Amino acid sequence: MNIFVIMAALIILLILTLKKVPIIISALLSAAFMAVCSGMPVFETIAAEYMEGLADFVRSTWLMFLLGTVLSSLMDHTGAAASIARFTVRRFGAKWAIPAVIISGGLLTYGGISAFVACYALYPVTLMVFREADLPEYLMPAVICAGIHTWVNMLPGNPSVTNIVPVAYLNTTAKAAPVVGVIAAVLTLTLTFLYFAWEVRKAEKRGDRFSTDEKREKMLKKMDALEKEKGLPDPFMALLPVLCVAVVMNVLKQDISIALSAGILLCSVLFGRNFRGGREILSNAVAEASFTLITAASVVGIGNVIRATPGFQKIAELILRFGEVGVNPLVIFAVAVAVMSGMNASATSGLSTILSALGEPFLRMGIPAELLHRVGVIAAIGPGGLPHSGGMVAILEVCGVSYKEGYRHLFVAVVMIPMATLLAVLAGMV
């Protein structure tokens, strides 16, 4: 019975999220429901188990969230992120417009720039290159998300939140299981290119072409003016903070906080003259980092409550029993992460919840921590792009594309292809 209580609490979390109830409130209500139905004191459970899980997550990831958001804000406000994206797209040319956008998004994300900032940096450049290549605008959201949400997050050494979260639970590093990560990223990238090539051919046969509206025209005029004024930083200089983060973390083997700090310092030195209102930028960055962190941590707190329920031990025993009868524990883990990420519509929240609640039982089943880290990241990515994901809503809004026109392509690029990669990875290991 207690197992069903846990499942019911998670379903409540999903329903409330779909109803647009703030995730912080949804998580508290879900945890309270779990406590009541498990015969646990509600307020004591929230004050102890729930808040301990939340606080532990904040303590282990706050500095990374804050520094990553500050770097993203600096790269955005100085024009460095847009410069990298524009240069990459221009070098590829209109013929290779879609691969160019996808690679540009990967460069930005791998350099520590948040997906939110990368999205806004890529959109104007993507709009320009879609105009030049005469590509239908309904593909833009999926192309941008394919660059910043999928293949690049599978790569070892990526400072993205999804790739760093397992470190707190598994005592691994961002470079965990590098071979698996590289293979998964290459496979995902290849499938993504093939899918969009197929969609472009279909669009050409139907006669679908680039179309614009008042909002897009305004953005295009702004970008055309920047082209003439050459108001963006030199792209090679703009790339230096991105490279700095990657080198400090992966070559010099420093903590991600040190790597992000080095990127912030270099970006400030190189482009400090390009922005005004530094105090406001920092204030906004702190506010954004705080909200993102507390949102993720509020869901992680549920994992601590799950561990405290009488039903948790039964779940752990059930998982161990699956392993005893021959079911590969890595498959069980991947399914658990994928389901939780889909329910939360968040790769970070889903992965955090499973690792906080069930990380130790899976480790006891003999799965190497590094493999658990990498497979968990890959499994979390696809379900995090389901329709109720805030990221999917945001990118459609930014691009001015309706759900009806754009989400089908988002679903294939952000959900189906990463899930196909996950299946391929698991098939190669079982």
Handedness of CA 269, 278, 70, 84 (dihedral sign): negative
Highest-confidence range of 53-67, 107-121, 416-430, by mean pLDDT? 416-430
Assign residue 112 a region (left: φ > 0; alpha: ψ between -120 and 50; beta: otherwise).
Answer: left
Residue 378: pLDDT band (50, 70, 90) is very high
Highest-confidence range of 26-35, 123-132, 135-144, 238-247, by mean pLDDT? 135-144
Q: Which two tokens stand for residue 424?
A: 């391929």
pLDDT at 427: 92
Q: What is the DSSP secondary-structure string of 227-257?
A: HHHT-SPPHHHHHHHHHHHHHHHHTS---HH
3-state secondary structure of 421: helix
The average pLDDT across 123-127 equals 78
Q: Which two tokens stand for residue 187?
A: 């496979």
pLDDT at 315: 66
pLDDT at 223: 61
pLDDT at 285: 76
CA torsion angle 42 47 48 49 (round to 10): 70
CB contact at 8 A, 173 and 157? no
pLDDT at 22: 78
The average pLDDT across 95-106 equals 86
How do the domains of the chain map onto residue ranges? 2-427
**pLDDT > 90: percent of the chain:** 20
Residue/partner pairs of 227-236 with CB below 8 Å, 24 or more apart = 231/79, 232/79, 232/80, 232/82, 232/83, 232/86, 233/78, 233/79, 233/80, 233/83, 233/270, 233/271, 233/274, 234/83, 235/83, 235/84, 235/86, 235/87, 235/88
pLDDT at 153: 92
CB contact at 8 A, 24 and 30? no
Residues 47-78: pLDDT tens digits?
888 888 888 778 877 887 788 778 877 877 77
Q: Which two tokens stand for residue 26?
A: 């949804």
Highest-confidence range of 15-24, 364-373, 417-426, by mean pLDDT? 417-426
Handedness of CA 131, 135, 139, 144 (dihedral sign): negative
The amino acid that residue 228 corresponds to is K
Q: What is the DSSP secondary-structure string of 152-186?
A: HHHSTT--SHHHHHHHHHH---TTSSHHHHHHHHH
Q: Which two tokens stand for residue 368?
A: 């190497």
The average pLDDT across 337-360 equals 79
Q: Is the pLDDT of residue 116 over 70?
A: no
Residues 271-321: pLDDT tens digits?
877 666 667 777 877 887 787 778 767 777 777 787 777 766 676 667 667
Whole-angstrom Cα distance, residue 332 to residue 350?
Answer: 14
Residue 117: pLDDT band (50, 70, 90) is low
Q: Tell me how crowded residue 398 is: count the other CB atoms within 10 A of its CB.
A: 16
pLDDT at 322: 67
Between 395 and 381, name the one with better pLDDT: 381
Pure H helices in 78-159: 80-92, 97-110, 115-133, 140-145, 151-154
pLDDT at 23: 74
Q: How far is CA 224 from the centre of its chain?
A: 31
Q: Residue 313: which residues within 8 A CB-CB, separation 6 or more?
A: none
The average pLDDT across 118-132 equals 77
Residue 383: pLDDT band (50, 70, 90) is confident
Whole-angstrom Cα distance, residue 83 to residue 236?
Answer: 9
Highest-confidence range of 13-22, 70-79, 183-192, 329-338, by mean pLDDT? 183-192
Whole-angstrom Cα distance, residue 96 to residue 98?
Answer: 6
Residues 204-262: pLDDT tens digits?
899 888 887 777 777 667 666 655 555 678 888 888 887 888 788 777 878 778 888 89
CB contact at 8 A, 192 and 146? yes
Q: Across all residues in the chain, what is the average pLDDT?
A: 81
CA distances to 17, 29, 60, 149, 293 from 115, rounded to whole Å, are 21, 29, 21, 7, 15
The tally of CA atoms less than 13 A away on the side-chain side of residue 360 is 10
Q: Is the pLDDT of residue 17 over 80?
A: no
Among 176, 376, 159, residue whose Cα is nearest residue 256 = 159
Whole-angstrom Cα distance, residue 142 to residue 398?
Answer: 12
Q: Is the pLDDT of residue 172 over 80?
A: yes
Residue 65, class by beta-carbon neighbours within 10 Å (0-12 exposed, 13-18 middle, 19+ buried)? buried
**pLDDT > 70: percent of the chain:** 86
Q: Tell me how crowded residue 206 is: count the other CB atoms within 10 A of its CB.
A: 9
pLDDT at 277: 63
